[in-house]
Amino acid sequence: MTPYSCMTTEELNTAYNQTKADFDTCIAKGLKLNMARGKPSKKQLDMVSDLLTVLSKPEDCFDGDIDARNYGELAGLPCAREYWADVLGCKAEQVFVGGAASLNMMFDVVSRAFTHGLLHSPRPWCKEEKVKFLCPAPGYDRHFAIGEFFGAELITVPMTPTGPDMDMVEELVKDPQVKMLWCVPKYSNPDGIIFSDETIQRFANLKPAAPDFALIWDNAYSIHEFFGDYVPFPDILELCEKAGNPDMVFEFASTSKITFAGGGISCMAASTANIDYFTGIFGVQMISYDKVNQLRHVRFLKNKAHTLEIMKGHASLMAPKFRLVLDMLDEEIAPLGFANWNKPSGGYFISLNTMNGTAKRALELCKQAGVIMTKAGATFPYGIDPNDSNIRIAPSLPPLDELKQAMEVFCTCIKLAALEKLLNK
Amino acid sequence: MTPYSCMTTEELNTAYNQTKADFDTCIAKGLKLNMARGKPSKKQLDMVSDLLTVLSKPEDCFDGDIDARNYGELAGLPCAREYWADVLGCKAEQVFVGGAASLNMMFDVVSRAFTHGLLHSPRPWCKEEKVKFLCPAPGYDRHFAIGEFFGAELITVPMTPTGPDMDMVEELVKDPQVKMLWCVPKYSNPDGIIFSDETIQRFANLKPAAPDFALIWDNAYSIHEFFGDYVPFPDILELCEKAGNPDMVFEFASTSKITFAGGGISCMAASTANIDYFTGIFGVQMISYDKVNQLRHVRFLKNKAHTLEIMKGHASLMAPKFRLVLDMLDEEIAPLGFANWNKPSGGYFISLNTMNGTAKRALELCKQAGVIMTKAGATFPYGIDPNDSNIRIAPSLPPLDELKQAMEVFCTCIKLAALEKLLNK
């Protein structure tokens, strides 16, 4: 195959006609496939079914002498705090255990910052003239949405192969209106990048002008390798503490992609001063998150070592899907030279950059052919990709045969959109 | 026994010496008992153990074709919305299903009102010069705490035997700064009052000056009879709609005192316009509450009729405890004429008014003797009972023998505090 950039107009027209015919064939199939979200597949959910019955009798429901079924233990069952400390490499007293969604706890941190301020805030953020959030992009649309919801100005920071552009981050945090940075440090969403040790250390060493600058460290994929072995990852809490920034970081994690996406547990890890501060606030908000489910998870997942065993099971289901997507892209798209993509070994996504100015059109074509993808632009603040190029592929949900069909449609559509552009169609 | 008010000083001194000796005997026992919170007892929790295993296999985890284990269904599983509609007598589309704590959803409603405003708010409440909440008292300390946390001015409205003083409520809502009223309409916390039909209708008919006035209808004890049969209760949503106030009311309920206090499900019921508005907001905040637990509950509780059967089981454990407390008060306190209390047939509390100016002291004495009660004043806004008289008794947690011991201490302590006051000790 010749790269599009080396084709004559005639060759491009031939390619266009062939691709258009392929597209029409796709349409005719009347598919209904979904790769919009990083949802676990049914097989992954079935794999952890023992979670359902691990607590079956009253006497199973105790953590020491604490009855998980009753009120109390606002910050979580001691065993659940220890579990998360083990997984994240921090201390149990730095952990506040949450409900099904870590996103809700991130939202709550931002919400409290706006209504009451964080631990070192001179005033609630709603009283500030302006509040700015740094958003490494491509990134996670739900992170951006929270900032936008509270009226923060979202500033895009480009991603590099080692993480966010730290020169830019270090410069931007000199602005006292910059109050927050959101990131996914391991297998970043969607790029699948693991932040380098240097990047992580530079985060810990940040000298923000705002005394209440908060680093949102969404460690959603901390143990989510699908190719190869578990990659150790430093404890950001300790690094921040050593760098004299103990209260700067809020780390989050959940079992959404370990057990049940619709019924897991989550956690916030932060300095004990922050945990104390937020425990005071959560004490107004609720009595406790679901402790029965906390205990159910600890009994089933046991500890980090055993959880990593379970993650091997997820990997065995995820790896063939990522392999398929990467192979198809290598075969069908790489020779044409108009797109590039990452090759992650963990996380839930493949981030693809197609020809500038064609991502929206390509996904519109996908939709016409019955394949739903994450909305173009979603990986950028305000949903606007300045290059209209980035597309997030989420291969986890469909079974392999459906994934293959969906990727055939996808490859056809990004080709067709590129050819339309090259030929001004 | 002679009432204290009819005793001579000599008789009071004799009574004091006897009661002081009783108190010293209590102290010597070295008790450690807790009646501070309306916590279900272990027997109640054990009674619903089938909840733990009602979902045991992957195929159990579907509501129709929706996999409860995966992401999605922000407003709750359809079957869970239908379940709550059945219990509360409203419509499924008026229900948003929540996590373990309905309190958290009330908090979220207030939090959003302050940061973004409610459906009919001219502006977010944080932009208002002042915001006032009406607080029928005695009431629930956690309701008051949320208002106080957001800086609302809390205005006490006295409770009457038929509910809050509605003349006063109707007058107060003419003030456009009055934005909210919090109440527990059935078996009110702590008075155990069921609002009369007239009171409920007057609530529905309110003509508040604030276009975004919100009635927080915390129906925490909607099916929680312990003496006698289930008492039907009107659907406040329909009454408000008929009165031309469809968007004024937010109703809440939970299974905290039906299944597990530490692992139940909850709901918010409101007009479909409000549910739409809040679904948009919750969509920024989270992916969904725990749907596996929603399904677990629906399978176990089935419907209202079956839930009422389960409540009969709770009643069989609760009734002897309330009987014991009421009998002891009747025998030991009633003849002395310095205190009065309600005799509820449902809910979780007995509200007792002891001699003015002695509640704090009495509970201090209880604490010395190893019996922890809800803090004096907790049932009033800002934790200040103007008469220092109201005490909330929560008999549900301790087994009967412990409850008897605790009540012996309690009776001794309120007597001693009253005698101290009468004798200026």
CA dihedral of residues B243, B245, B250, B254 (deg, nearest 10): 20
DSSP run (H or E) holding A291: helix A291-301
Per-residue pLDDT of chain B (425 residues; tens, 9 = 90+): 899 999 999 999 999 999 999 999 999 999 999 888 899 999 999 999 999 999 999 999 999 999 999 999 999 999 999 999 999 999 999 999 999 989 999 999 999 999 999 999 999 999 999 999 999 999 999 999 999 999 999 999 999 999 999 999 999 999 999 999 999 999 999 999 999 999 999 999 999 999 999 999 999 999 999 999 999 999 999 999 999 999 999 999 999 999 999 999 999 999 999 999 999 999 999 989 999 999 999 999 999 999 999 999 999 999 999 999 999 999 999 999 999 999 999 999 999 999 999 999 999 999 999 999 999 999 999 999 999 999 999 999 999 999 999 999 999 999 999 999 999 98
Q: CA–CA separation, B106 vs B125, rounded Å? A: 15
Residue A186 C-alpha, separation from nearest chain B C-alpha, in angstroms: 21
Is A74 at the interface with chain B, CB within 8 A? no
Residues from chain A that touch B285, judged by Cβ atoms under 8 A, are 103-104, 107, 146
The closest alpha carbon to A348, from A325, A370, A329, belongs to: A325
User: Could you read off the pLDDT of A197-251 as tens digits, one per residue?
Assistant: 999 999 999 999 999 999 999 999 999 999 999 999 999 999 999 999 999 999 9
B293: number of Cβ within 10 Å: 31
pTM of the predicted model over 0.95: yes
Q: Which of residues 50-69 of A touch B (CB under 8 A)?
A: 52-53, 55-58, 60-61, 67-69
Cβ contact B48:B310 at 8 Å: yes
Is A230 at the interface with chain B, CB within 8 A? no
Residue ranges in A164-271 assigned as alpha helix (H): 166-172, 197-204, 236-242
What is the chain A residue with the closest CA to B144? A284
Residues from chain B that touch A115, judged by Cβ atoms under 8 A, are 111, 114-115, 126, 150
> Above 0.90 for ipTM, yes or no?
yes
Residue A200 C-alpha, separation from nearest chain B C-alpha, in angstroms: 27
Is A145 at the interface with chain B, CB within 8 A? yes
What is the chain A residue with the closest CA to B47? A58
Q: CA–CA separation, A300 vs B53, rounded Å? A: 14
Is B42 at the interface with chain A, CB within 8 A? yes
Asked whether the beta carbons of residue A49 and residue B57 sit closer than 8 angstroms, the reply is yes
Residues from chain B that touch A57, judged by Cβ atoms under 8 A, are 49, 52
Residue B243 C-alpha, separation from nearest chain A C-alpha, in angstroms: 32
The closest alpha carbon to A391, from A423, A368, A366, A370, belongs to: A366
State the residue for tokens 């084709």.
A7
Terminal-to-terminal C-alpha distance of chain A: 22
Nearest to A284 among B60, B72, B107 (CB): B107
A207: number of Cβ within 10 Å: 11
